[in-house]
Amino acid sequence: MKPRGILLAGNWKMNHGPTAAQEFFRALPYSKKPGATMRIYPSFLSLSTALDSVNSAGKEIEIGAQNFHAEKSGAFTGEVSGPMLQEIGIHQVLLGHSERRQYFGETPAVILKKTVSALQQGFEVLLCIGETLAERNAGQTQAVLTHQLESTLADPICAAAFGTSLHLAYEPVWAIGTGMTATPAQAQETHASLRSLLTRTLGQTSADAVQILYGGSVTPSNFAELLACADIDGGLVGGASLKPESFGALWNLIPS
Ligand code: PGA
């Protein structure tokens, strides 16, 4: 068993309305595994159905939101707040996904504000970071990841939450939805350097408790190798989380 446990998280992005969500959970082969957690981030609209589906089937699957607004209420047309999510029983949120950064203009400052607000409201946050292909080819991977994390590490609320209610997903942007997975060696090297950065800034105990998930074209054919790496504590999965068969196959690859 891994020291930090294993988290298998599915990010459905803008897929699966309530009907498809219900069908997914009905068909998903699931059995409890010690030391491993399964979580799905459906669209806002499918959150209630997802919760009802897992609760009524007695499946211990966590359900989280893909985003939220840092303010608790107000004139923010089209947005969803933390208290609204908590009212329906959601206590997990995914923040900083590269698609939020790229298509919705979320800067490190915006992501920090959301992260702090989420933690203050009692959410558990999975914070995504990752470099583009141009940045990797220019040898800037470390600098980019450090930049994406530095304001979070410097914030006292976030710093105190790392390893308890704040965890990381490393998702190289060039690997998301492209079929180009980072090799286990590339991923492990980056995860290990992220853990050293956490150790330097937060100290060993906190750094050792932070789960660092790998994301980017994770499939049943590469997950076992990734999971075998010392600093990879699970996967954040897009495409392969949409079908119960492939997500179930990923779950079955986690050693009991
Ligand atoms: P992918 O997406 O597995 O389809 O590459 C991962 C993600 O964006 O979280």
52-107, pLDDT tens digit by residue?
A: 999 999 999 999 999 999 999 999 999 999 999 999 999 999 999 999 999 999 99
- Which protein residue has the closest C-alpha to ligand 1 atom 6? 238
Beta carbons within 10 angstroms of residue 156's beta carbon: 8
β-strands 6-11, 124-129 pairing: unpaired
E strands, the chain, where? 6-11, 36-41, 61-63, 92-95, 124-129, 166-170, 212-215, 234-237
* pTM assigned to the model: 0.97
For residue 69, indicate whether it is catalytic.
no
Let me know if 16 is a catalytic residue. Answer: no
Among 126, 168, 171, 176, the mutation site with the greatest number of ligand 1 atoms within 8 A of its Cβ is: 176
Q: Would the CB of 42 count as within 6 Å of ligand 1?
A: no
Q: How far is CA 73 from CA 48, 59, 68, in A?
A: 20, 32, 11
H helix runs in 33-120, sequence order: 47-56, 82-87, 98-103, 108-120
Cα torsion at 138, 229, 11, 48 (round to 10°)?
Answer: -150
Q: Whose CA is nearest to atom 7 of ligand 1?
A: 238
169-198 pLDDT per residue, tens: 999 999 988 888 889 999 999 999 999 999
Q: Is 216 in the pocket of ligand 1 (CB under 6 A)?
A: yes
The structural domains of the chain, with segments of one domain joined by +, span 6-252
Average pLDDT of the chain to the nearest whole number: 96
d(Cα 164, Cα 106) in Å, to the nearest integer?
A: 24
Residue pLDDT, tens place only, 130-145 = 999 999 999 999 999 9
Right CATH for 6-252 from 3.20.20.70, 2.60.40.420, 3.90.320.10, 3.30.420.10: 3.20.20.70
How many Å apart are CA 118 and CA 27, to the nearest integer?
A: 32
